[in-house]
Amino acid sequence: MPAGGFVVGDGHTAYPGKLTPYVLFTCVVAAMGGLIFGYDIGISGGVTSMPSFLRRFFPSVYRKQQEEATTNQYCQYDSVTLTLFTSSLYLAALISSLVASTVTRRFGRRLSMLFGGILFCAGALINGFAKHVWMLIVGRILLGFGIGFANQSVPLYLSEMAPYKYRGSLNIGFQLSITIGILVAEVLNYFFAKIKGGWGWRLSLGGAVVPALIITLGSLVLPDTPNSMIDRGLHDEAKTKLRRIRGVEDVSQEFDDLVAASKESQSIEDPWRNLLRRKYRPHLTMAIMIPFFQQLTGINVIMFYAPVLFNTIGFTTDASLMSAVVTGSVNVAATLVSIYGVDKWGRRFLFIEGGTQMLICQAVVAACIGAKFGVDGTPGELPKWYAIVVVTFICIYVAGFAWSWGPLGWLVPSEIFPLEIRSAAQSITVSVNMIFTFIIAQVFLMMLCHLKFGLFLFFAFFVVVMSIFIYIFLPETKGIPIEEMGQVWRSHWYWSRFVEDGEYGNAVEMGKSSNQGTKNV
């Protein structure tokens, strides 16, 4: 049988291979790297709504919380120190993601995952035993270092290991793990808040050790990706691994394309400077704009501070934590929808549908909160039916995010970068994500105090902008092998002026032309 893949009707090569139990297992284990990110998102808002935690570390916020309900509910959590506790992690993640780029490129994706797990574990222990605010912030910084390494390496690992037909579904396993981590954290917060003596927050914070150990131990048993092995000169091992991953003996064309891409990658002395070249303009634009817009959907406002937000709009502490559990459950369920549909319906459809859904819900929630709270933040008695309406539309909003911008914000950047800039570009994606996560986390409570219900309209405006951006500038990447992604830019009405024929992916094209076994069907 001649070597090679098939060129299908749309001009993309169909590499031979199938979804083997081995690659499914490795992708599931690797995707668990998202647990540490999700657990932290879920735990942060929960502990900052626990009176015992606030009384010990943030007494000024605790005093505001205990004042009569007639005071301005929009501003009761407005505290620079409290927001620093939450947002310091994301600044640390920004810094570590830049370091992780070099580690991932030179030593493989697995080592970055291992570093991420170890650092996150250390931060969880310090937070669990914290006695002073500075210990909390040091612990959060270590957690951030861990998240920076994991978020830089896991999406790349998944995109490189997965067969191209299933790349979307397997990569979204990372986002599914994030949502599971959020849900588990919110359930634990609900029960730990009930512990007599007020020390349940220690279990919530210290419990982060568990997802940290999962990714740490997982990284020790995972194989490295063939792309990474080839990049480090391990060609024989890479070909053997590629055969096992794809479940077929004939992997010649895919292997040759990976080697060709690696040679082009090795010719690049400085991938950071290379990112600025004209032919990588679409990649750099997506690496910046997609994570930028992902944070401006407003989702982290909901997930960071769901208990705080629900408490602010009139729920008791127990009810607010329970409402956060409900939104977390919706988050997980809707991510499963994305796993099912991303390789069937495509990335663009999910982006635009999710954006429309979020826009409608944000407008309704703003109207509901504005009508009840006005501009002075004094709601009086909040009827049960009214609270149910608010939670329902927040859940529909979360569902829209969870099958669109949530998973695709990680999937699309990780699959569009050619090997020569992949690690550096992924670090840009993580860095932008963390910069704006940091900014949103730092200013959210202050914005809630000043913009009031208009905060939801603020994010709704950006949802409109990002949906237009996707419609105009993002080509469909469904079903395209990762090493052939240059074709989508060459055929795009706008990006083709930057990525011209013969300029992008020369090494891969040369690898194809030298392969005599390619068939046309």
Mean of per-residue pLDDT scores for the chain: 81
The confidence band for 485, taking pLDDT boundaries of 50, 70 and 90, is: confident
Look at residue 426 in the predicted model and tell me its pLDDT.
Answer: 85
**Strand order across the 519-520 sheet:** 13-14, 6-7, 519-520
Q: Tell me the average pLDDT across 197-221.
A: 91
Q: Does the structure show a pLDDT above 70 at 443?
A: yes
Q: What percent of the chain is predicted at pLDDT more than 90?
A: 28
Whats the size of the chain, residue-wise? 521
Q: Which residue has the higher pLDDT, 197 or 296?
A: 296
Q: Does the structure show a pLDDT above 60 at 149?
A: yes
The confidence band for 12, taking pLDDT boundaries of 50, 70 and 90, is: low
Contact criterion met (CB below 8 Å) for 41 and 181: yes
Task: Kindly state the helix (H) or strand (E) to which residue 365 belongs, with its residue range.
Answer: helix 347-373
Q: Does the structure show a pLDDT above 90 at 307?
A: no
Look at residue 8 in the predicted model and tell me its pLDDT.
Answer: 44
Q: Among the listed ranges 30-34, 248-252, 405-409, 477-481, which one has the minimum average pLDDT value?
A: 248-252
Q: Tell me the average pLDDT across 446-457.
A: 77
The confidence band for 521, taking pLDDT boundaries of 50, 70 and 90, is: very low
* Domains detected in the chain: 21-224+268-500 (1.20.1250.20)
Look at residue 301 in the predicted model and tell me its pLDDT.
Answer: 65
Q: Tell me the average pLDDT across 387-414.
A: 88
Task: Kindly state the helix (H) or strand (E) to which residue 458 belongs, with its residue range.
Answer: helix 454-473
Look at residue 143 in the predicted model and tell me its pLDDT.
Answer: 93
Q: What percent of the chain is predicted at pLDDT more than 70?
A: 83
Look at residue 347 in the predicted model and tell me its pLDDT.
Answer: 94
Q: Among the listed ranges 102-106, 189-193, 311-315, 452-456, which one has the minimum average pLDDT value?
A: 311-315
pLDDT in tens, 50-97: 888 888 888 877 777 666 544 555 565 556 677 777 778 888 888 898
Q: Does the structure show a pLDDT above 70 at 228?
A: yes
Q: Does the structure show a pLDDT above 80 at 46?
A: no
- Across 3-17, 120-134, 224-238, 434-448, the highest mean pLDDT is recorded for 120-134
Look at residue 77 in the predicted model and tell me its pLDDT.
Answer: 59
pLDDT in tens, 321-332: 677 778 888 989
Q: Which residue has the higher pLDDT, 445 or 111?
A: 111
Q: Does the structure show a pLDDT above 70 at 133?
A: yes
Q: Which residue has the higher pLDDT, 313 or 237?
A: 237
Residues contacting residue 267 through CB under 8 Å, at least 6 positions apart: 420
The confidence band for 284, taking pLDDT boundaries of 50, 70 and 90, is: very high
Look at residue 166 in the predicted model and tell me its pLDDT.
Answer: 86
Contact criterion met (CB below 8 Å) for 144 and 88: yes
Per DSSP, the residues of 283-349 read HHHHHHHHHHHHHTTSHHHHHHHHHHHHHHTT--HHHHHHHHHHHHHHHHHHHHHHHHHHHHH-HHH
Q: How far is CA 341 from the centre of its chain?
A: 18
Look at residue 216 in the predicted model and tell me its pLDDT.
Answer: 93
- Across 21-30, 42-51, 113-122, 429-438, the highest mean pLDDT is recorded for 113-122
Contact criterion met (CB below 8 Å) for 327 and 395: yes
Q: CA torsion, points 318, 324, 330, 332, in degrees to nearest 10?
A: -110
Task: Kindly state the helix (H) or strand (E) to which residue 459 belongs, with its residue range.
Answer: helix 454-473
Q: Does the structure show a pLDDT above 60 at 174?
A: yes
Look at residue 494 in the predicted model and tell me its pLDDT.
Answer: 93
How far apart (Å, rounded) are the C-alpha atoms in residues 178 and 61? 29
Q: Does the structure show a pLDDT above 90 at 476?
A: yes
Contact criterion met (CB below 8 Å) for 459 and 296: yes
Q: Does the structure show a pLDDT above 50 at 507?
A: no
Contact criterion met (CB below 8 Å) for 445 and 77: yes
Q: Among the listed ranges 119-123, 337-341, 344-348, 369-373, which one has the minimum average pLDDT value?
A: 369-373
Look at residue 378 in the predicted model and tell me its pLDDT.
Answer: 59
Look at residue 137 in the predicted model and tell me its pLDDT.
Answer: 87
What does the radius of gyration of the chain's CA atoms come to, in whole angstroms? 23
The confidence band for 483, taking pLDDT boundaries of 50, 70 and 90, is: confident
Look at residue 518 in the predicted model and tell me its pLDDT.
Answer: 40
